[in-house]
Structure 1
Amino acid sequence: MRIARFTKDGDLSFGVVEDDDTIATVAAHPFGEIQFTGERQPLADVRLTAPILPNKVIAVGRNYAEHAKEMGNEAPTEPLIFMKPSTSVIGQQEAIVYPSLSERVDYEGELAVVIGRLCRDVPAERAAEVILGYTCANDVTARDLQNKDGQWTRAKGFDTFCPLGPWIETDLDPSDLAITTTVNGETRQDSRTDKLLHRIPELIEYITQVMTLLPGDVILTGTPEGVGPLRVDDEVSVTIENIGTLTNRVISRD
């Protein structure tokens, strides 16, 4: 099932994408049993937004060995987690705003996990029970500020720095999926999720030992090698096998 969030005539709703070209409106939210309103319309007639607006986004750094290496770091022995604010979240075809404070903004294509229920202290073997589904993400980063600050809050936390979408795929085995990032049609990242150093069940166990996760919270699982700079007017796309493609254009804040 592909769960989307969309606007039509000023109304914001959840829906289920059917047959690639139709969306069926959901009565309330996608947590628990899905209830439909009976309304269906062409997907082309609605505007997709971020498929979820999370309470919090927990991201994982250096979770692909080759990415850690390209950044001049050792691969961590346990998950390296940080957070992005909910105000950084945007959706399909929304603009990434290049901040005036930075001279180097990078793309980082990632697989994102969407949590489906309130949970705490989840053992790895039960992690699947708390997952609603998966979506594409771009952990946009002001690399110069990350290096300058020595911690990542400012570099990762700008408004528009967490594109998610185009929808949440609920019926998916995330263990070995192709993940690619293109800029203006040129492939920059090309890897597979089987190269994750810390797998999704391990991440959920680790994170929920620290904090309670709420329905709709998002975990960004890390980016593979090939990260690089974006410029104003670039179009960046993250494609994950059996999910879809998330596309955003970069604009100037001025």
Structure 2
Amino acid sequence: MLKRYTRIQQEGKTYYGLLNQDGTVQILEGNSPENFRETKVIVKDFKQLSIPCAPSKIVGTGLNYKDVVLKPGESLPAKPKLFIKPPTALIGDGDQVMQPPMVKDLSCEVELAVVIGKKCKCVPEGEAENYIWGYTVANDMTASDLQAEDTLWGRAKSFDTFLPVGSVIVSGIDPSQLELCSKINGKPGQKGNTKDLIKGVYWLVSYISHVMTLLPGDMIITGTPSGYGIKVKPGDCMEMEIQRLGKISNKVAAVETPYYF
């Protein structure tokens, strides 16, 4: 059964809830999918929070689509490359991606984000679905020049605001055949389908859980299809859309505060 989870504030308190078709929210008791309990409380007047959960970490996945066009010198790894994005990279739909002076070459990527629903360690692939809360849209921003400079991806992926995500977590859907696309200033960018993932969602959850303990609210971004690395600059508007999950729109702006590196 499809459900749409969100976080709201009402009367100074933060709640998780189920977003209804009419725009109202059914309040949930609890602070995690592990202990959610549906109530009969329906609210109309509330502030929807732009980030639908509170991850301890975001695990990124690189080079994980069959249709990816490799850059000179690149090859597909036997297993997807993993990297970590900090929670401070998260922003919501409509928020600005801030390009700091250190970054001269900024790019964006549409990705399916998997949100973990319960503590997950060394889980078999066949059981991984039981540990997933749901899915949302993500835009994996990258400082492409720093990525090339460092070889490692940590700095290039980790700046504040470098991960716009959707405000709703959708559960009860099959993640194996979802269309993804992006537009930059209204012009088509990337287009793909999760059927072309080299390593699927359940494999990724299992594999990553053998590396680190995944906690409720943690996110896995699953890679990006062909056409990745689309360059953007301050003033550009990025739209990322995934079938059944909706779309997010974010503009790029320049950081005006001093940087010393």
TM-score (norm 1): 0.93
* Cα distance in structure 1, aligned partners of 2:114 and 2:72: 24
Q: Which residue of structure 2 aligns with residue 35 of structure 1? A: 38
1:23 aligns with 2:21: no
1:63: Cα distance to partner?
A: 0.5
1:23: Cα distance to partner?
A: 2.4
Residue range with higher mean Cα deviation, 149-158 or 66-75: 66-75
Q: 1:111 to 1:154 in 2, by over 3 A?
A: same
Counterpart contact for 2:110–2:138, Cα < 8 Å: yes
Q: Which residue of structure 2 aligns with residue 118 of structure 1? A: 119
Gaps of 5+ in 2: 257-261
1:30: Cα distance to partner?
A: 4.4
Counterpart contact for 1:48–1:92, Cα < 8 Å: no
Q: Which residue of structure 1 aligns with residue 254 of structure 2? A: 252
1:65: Cα distance to partner?
A: 3.0
Counterpart contact for 2:26–2:38, Cα < 8 Å: no
1:208: Cα distance to partner?
A: 1.0
1:118: Cα distance to partner?
A: 0.4
* Cα distance in structure 2, aligned partners of 1:252 and 1:24: 38
Alignment of structure 1 residues 132-211 onto 2, 5 Å: 132-211=133-212
Secondary structure class of the residue paired with 2:165:
strand
* Cα distance in structure 1, aligned partners of 2:11 and 2:50: 14
1:112: Cα distance to partner?
A: 0.5
Q: Which residue of structure 2 aligns with residue 99 of structure 1? A: 100
Q: Which residue of structure 2 aligns with residue 80 of structure 1? A: 81
Q: Which residue of structure 2 aligns with residue 14 of structure 1? A: 16
* Cα distance in structure 2, aligned partners of 1:56 and 1:70: 28
Q: 1:50 to 1:129 in 2, by over 3 A?
A: same
* Cα distance in structure 2, aligned partners of 1:250 and 1:9: 32
1:196: Cα distance to partner?
A: 0.4
Gaps of 5+ in 1: none
| Paired residue type of 2:239 | S
Higher helix share: 1
Q: Which residue of structure 2 aligns with residue 239 of structure 1? A: 241
Question: Deviations along 1:139-169, whole A, 9 cap, x unmatched?
Answer: 1000001001111111000001111113100
1:21: Cα distance to partner?
A: 2.4
Counterpart contact for 1:3–1:30, Cα < 8 Å: no
Q: 1:11 to 1:250 in 2, by over 3 A?
A: farther
* Cα distance in structure 1, aligned partners of 2:151 and 2:14: 39
Q: 1:211 to 1:122 in 2, by over 3 A?
A: same
Q: 1:4 to 1:72 in 2, by over 3 A?
A: farther
Counterpart contact for 1:24–1:41, Cα < 8 Å: no
1:199: Cα distance to partner?
A: 0.7
1:80: Cα distance to partner?
A: 1.3
What is the identity percentage for the equivalent residue pairs of Structure 1 and Structure 2?
36
Secondary structure class of the residue paired with 1:65:
coil
Q: Which residue of structure 1 aligns with residue 259 of structure 2? A: none
| Paired residue type of 1:35 | E
* Cα distance in structure 2, aligned partners of 1:230 and 1:176: 28
Secondary structure class of the residue paired with 2:107:
strand
* Cα distance in structure 1, aligned partners of 2:180 and 2:157: 21
* Cα distance in structure 2, aligned partners of 1:60 and 1:71: 20
1:6: Cα distance to partner?
A: 3.1
| Paired residue type of 1:24 | Q
Secondary structure class of the residue paired with 1:51:
coil
1:248: Cα distance to partner?
A: 1.4
* Cα distance in structure 2, aligned partners of 1:156 and 1:71: 21
* Cα distance in structure 1, aligned partners of 2:48 and 2:150: 37
| Paired residue type of 1:229 | K
Question: Deviations along 1:91-148, whole A, 9 cap, x unmatched?
Answer: 1211111111011111011001000000111111111010000001111000001001
| Paired residue type of 2:253 | I
Q: 1:207 to 1:68 in 2, by over 3 A?
A: farther
